[in-house]
């Protein structure tokens, strides 16, 4: 049966989004003969408007290696808590009725929501309200449950690893401590895996509140053993034991989304206070999300896009595509959202890092 499929990309952008869009469009058009409508700017495009455009084969030509998303995205557009000005003040209100109305107006049968925890939570609620949804898990943070890995993560780890390789030579030449702050929100995956791949000396992650005295001791011991430089990788959500996360915005500016950042400078100034070494900070920031996806992410994203079309063909709504082992399968969106996939402080990856002599802040 012919279908009209809408697709949106929500939350922060991520390498591989365009590859998913291309996978959906190519398989839906070539295999099924369906129409695809691309919603602009995430759920924002369903609140005001609707704003969308037809996606045909020509419109996805050449986008496989392109970073970002041709549809645009927003990580402010939660229809259940949408910022609206009321009596001259900003407030968060439920506009899900408008979303349902606008979606019907588009004439679409089903929505593919490509996003992380926030986007998929919204998608699930809309599905419960009668808007059929299929989810595709995205995030460089790799913090979603229900899938072994999200697309975008492999690319981010590659970017950070390359940065660590480059920082090694300059840190060694100047006998400096380089503190490298990386993304990941409340999960330490990017810091941990890129730190292992990039031969970091210290890795600080949110799952293990760190002891700065032990960090300083580890760097001092490296100096005494003849290695007069150190590379410290700090996840943006890491925090000292007994302390709190470092954020960039005041609480009233957050509008539901906390902006992490600044822990790298805190760690550097603490190291500078306990050791007579020049300590510098590198904040990799959005470089980790930009640019072309790795071959792994291009393949995973393409598989996810094709699988999403297959789920729609079988009318398996409320489900999300996921990687389990070597297979792409369907899981309930509910099993993926609600709690995060965090690093196990006693898990195999942590043990590997510590066995290699990497100081994990404890």
- Output the smallest distance, CB 134 to ligand F6P, in A: 21
- Output the smallest distance, CB 96 to ligand F6P, in A: 22
172 vs 258 by CB, closer to ligand F6P: 258
Question: Which of 46, 60, 126, 140 is in the footprint of ligand F6P by CB under 6 A?
Answer: 140
Q: What angle do CA 142, 148, 150 make, to 5 degrees?
A: 40
Omega of the bond prior to 205 within 30 degrees of 0, cis?
A: no
Separation of alpha carbons 106 and 83, rounded Å: 23
Tokens coding 292? 């072309």
Binding piece for ligand F6P, criterion CB under 6 A, among 56-64, 139-147, 199-207, 305-313:
139-147
Residue 354: C-alpha distances to residues 53, 225, 302, 348 (Å): 51, 18, 35, 10
- Output the smallest distance, CB 211 to ligand F6P, in A: 24
| b/e sequence 55-85, b meaning 16+ C-beta within 10 Å | beeeebeebbebbbbbbbbbbebbbeebeee
- Output the smallest distance, CB 141 to ligand F6P, in A: 5
Q: Which of 202, 236, 207, 245 is nearest to 221 (CA)?
A: 202
**Widest CA span of the chain, in angstroms?**
71
41 near ligand F6P, judged by CB under 6 A: no
259 near ligand F6P, judged by CB under 6 A: yes
71 vs 177 by CB, closer to ligand F6P: 71
Binding piece for ligand F6P, criterion CB under 6 A, among 20-28, 135-143, 192-200, 316-324:
135-143
- Output the smallest distance, CB 117 to ligand F6P, in A: 9
141 near ligand F6P, judged by CB under 6 A: yes
340 and 186 Cβ atoms separated by less than 8 Å: yes
159 near ligand F6P, judged by CB under 6 A: no
Known active-site residue 13: no
* Residue 109 DSSP symbol: S
* Residue 338 DSSP symbol: S
45 and 52 Cβ atoms separated by less than 8 Å: yes
356 and 202 Cβ atoms separated by less than 8 Å: no
Of 141, 143, 186, 297, catalytic? 141
260 near ligand F6P, judged by CB under 6 A: yes
Binding piece for ligand F6P, criterion CB under 6 A, among 95-103, 182-190, 198-206, 343-351:
182-190
Separation of alpha carbons 207 and 237, rounded Å: 9
184 near ligand F6P, judged by CB under 6 A: yes
Number of residues that bind ligand F6P (CB under 6 A): 13
75 near ligand F6P, judged by CB under 6 A: yes
Residue numbers of the site for ligand F6P (CB under 6 A)?
12, 75, 116, 139-141, 183-185, 236, 259-260, 289
Catalytic positions, please?
Answer: 141
């Amino acid at each position: 049966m012919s279908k009209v499929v809408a697709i949106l990309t929500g939350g922060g952008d991520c390498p591989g989004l365009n590859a998913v869009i291309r996978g959906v469009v190519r398989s839906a058009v070539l295999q099924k003969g369906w129409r695809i409508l691309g919603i602009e700017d995430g759920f924002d495009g369903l609140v005001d408007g609707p704003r969308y455009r037809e996606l045909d084969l020509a419109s996805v030509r050449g986008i496989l290696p392109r970073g970002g998303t041709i549809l645009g995205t927003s990580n402010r557009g939660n229809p259940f808590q949408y910022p609206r000005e009321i009596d001259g003040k900003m407030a968060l209100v439920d506009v899900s009725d408008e979303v349902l109305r606008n979606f019907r107006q588009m004439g679409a049968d089903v929505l593919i929501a490509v996003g992380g925890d926030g986007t998929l939570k919204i998608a699930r609620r809309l599905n419960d309200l009668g808007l059929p949804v299929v989810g595709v898990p995205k995030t460089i943070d790799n913090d979603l449950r229900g899938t072994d890995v999200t697309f975008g993560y492999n690319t981010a780890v590659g970017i950070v690893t390359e940065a660590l390789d480059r920082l090694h030579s300059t840190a060694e030449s100047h006998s400096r401590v380089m503190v490298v702050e990386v993304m990941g929100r409340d999960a330490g995956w990017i810091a941990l895996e890129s730190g292992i791949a990039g031969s970091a000396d210290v890795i600080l992650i949110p799952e293990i509140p760190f002891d700065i005295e032990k960090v300083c001791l580890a760097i001092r011991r490296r100096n005494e053993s003849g290695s007069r430089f150190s590379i410290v990788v700090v996840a943006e959500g890491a925090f000292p034991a007994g302390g709190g996360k470092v954020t960039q915005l005041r609480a009233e500016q957050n509008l539901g989304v906390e902006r992490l950042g600044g822990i790298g400078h805190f760690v550097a100034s603490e190291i500078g206070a306990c050791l007579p070494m020049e300590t510098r900070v590198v904040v990799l920031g959005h470089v980790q999300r930009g640019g072309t996806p790795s071959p792994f992410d291009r393949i995973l994203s393409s598989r996810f896009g094709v699988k999403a079309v297959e789920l729609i063909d079988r009318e398996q709504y409320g489900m999300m595509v996921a990687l389990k082992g070597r297979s792409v399968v369907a899981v309930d969106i509910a099993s993926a959202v609600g709690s995060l996939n965090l690093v196990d402080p006693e898990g195999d990856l942590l043990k590997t890092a510590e066995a290699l002599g990497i100081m994990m802040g404890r």
